[in-house]
Amino acid sequence: AQKITQTQPGMFVQEKEAVTLDCTYDTSDPSYGLFWYKQPSSGEMIFLIYQGSYDQQNATEGRYSLNFQKARKSANLVISASQLGDSAMYFCAMRSLESQGNLIFGKGTKLSVKP
Amino acid sequence: EADIYQTPRYLVIGTGKKITLECSQTMGHDKMYWYQQDPGMELHLIHYSYGVNSTEKGDLSSESTVSRIRTEHFPLTLESARPSHTSQYLCASSGRGEAFFGQGTRLTVV
C-alpha cells in the first residue's frame, strides 16, 4: 500500500538559513509524482514543487528544491534562505495509479522560522 | 493563481442541521476532490470525482455525500450535522499536474 512518511512533527530554523524537511514514500508503481505543499495558519494549501519519478534532475522552484533519491525512496524539501513568512505546515504528497491518481499526504511538518 | 472557490469560509451550525459546502472551479478540470483535515493534522481524502456524474468514496469513511452535475461544481452535503463532523474541509481540483486547493471551510457543529 502507498504511504508517505514525514518523521519531523516540528522544525525550527534561523532566518536566512537553509532547512531540509524529510519525506519518504512507499509505492509499487514505477510511475508516480511527488508534491510538496505549504499550509499557512490561514488554512489554504499552496503548491510548491513537483518531482516526477522519471525526472533525471532534482526539481527547483526559486528558493525551493527537492532532493530526490529514488533508490532510498526519499523526496526531501530544501528551503534556502528561510524567511519569517516560511513559517507554516509543510506536507509531502504522492500520486500514482495505485492511488487512482489521488494525492495521498503525509502527516506534515510544522516549520517555525526564528528571527 | 488558482481559480477554485469554497463557500462558506467559516460555518457554525447546530446538531442535526443539514448543510451543504460549496466548491466551484473555473479551470475546466475533470478531477475534483474533498479532503477532511483536523487542525495541524494530515489531510484525509473523503470523496473524489473523475468528471460529471462520477463520484467515489475516498480512504476515510465519511457520512457526507457529494454530487457532480456540472464539471465546475462539486458540493458536499451533510444531512444531519454532528459535533464529530467539526473539522476543516478542503476542496481541490486537478488536470494533469498539481492539485489546486480552495481556501477551505472550517465547520463547527455545536
**Using one digit for the tens of pLDDT, what is the confidence trace for A31-68?**
999 999 999 998 999 999 999 999 999 999 999 999 99
- Return the H-helix or E-strand segment holding B95: none
Quote the cell numbers at residue B73.
Answer: 461544481
What backbone torsions phi and psi does residue A84 show, to the nearest 5 degrees? -60, -35
For B51-100, how does the pLDDT look when each residue is reduced to its tens digit (9 = 90+)? 999 999 998 888 899 999 999 999 999 999 999 999 999 999 998 889 99
Which residue among A43, A47, A105 sits closest to B88, beta carbon to beta carbon?
A43
Within an 8 Å CB–CB cutoff, is residue A108 touching chain B? yes
Interface contact A43-B103, CB threshold 8 A:
yes
> Residue B18: CB partners within 8 Å, gap ≥ 6?
B77, B78, B79, B80, B81
How high is the pLDDT of residue B59?
Answer: 85
Distance in angstroms (rounded) separating the CA atoms of residues A41 and A49: 20
Which residue among A50, A100, A106 sits closest to B98, beta carbon to beta carbon?
A50
> Chain-wide mean pLDDT for chain A?
95
Supply the DSSP string of A80-101, one letter for each residue. -S--GGG-EEEEEEEEEGGGTT
Q: How confident is the model at residue A97 (pLDDT cuts 50, 70, 90)?
A: confident
CA distance to A37, A53, B20, B91, per residue, from B77 (Å): 27, 36, 4, 13
Interface contact A45-B41, CB threshold 8 A:
no
Examine the pLDDT at B40 and tell me if it is beyond 90: no
Cβ contacts below 8 Å, chain A against chain B, sum to 50
CA distance to A24, A26, A46, B10, B92, per residue, from B42 (Å): 15, 17, 15, 20, 15
Which residue among A47, A105, A110 sits closest to B98, beta carbon to beta carbon?
A47
Examine the pLDDT at B39 and tell me if it is beyond 90: no
List CB contacts (< 8 A) between A101 and chain B.
Answer: 31
Q: What would the mean pLDDT of A79-92 be, rounded to a whole number?
A: 97
How high is the pLDDT of residue B2?
Answer: 62
Length of chain B: 110
Given CA atoms A85, A86, A88, A91 in this order, what sign does their dihedral have?
A: positive
Within an 8 Å CB–CB cutoff, is residue B56 touching chain A? yes
Examine the pLDDT at B16 and tell me if it is beyond 90: yes
Interface contact A44-B104, CB threshold 8 A:
yes
Within an 8 Å CB–CB cutoff, is residue A105 touching chain B? yes
Interface contact A104-B59, CB threshold 8 A:
yes
Spatial contact of B12 and B110, defined as CB atoms under 8 Å apart: yes
How high is the pLDDT of residue B48?
Answer: 96
For A102-112, how does the pLDDT look when each residue is reduced to its tens digit (9 = 90+)? 999 999 999 99
Q: How many CA atoms lie within 13 A of B37 on its CB side?
A: 27
Q: How confident is the model at residue B1 (pLDDT cuts 50, 70, 90)?
A: low
In angstroms, the separation between the Cα of residue A106 and the nearest Cα of chain B is 6
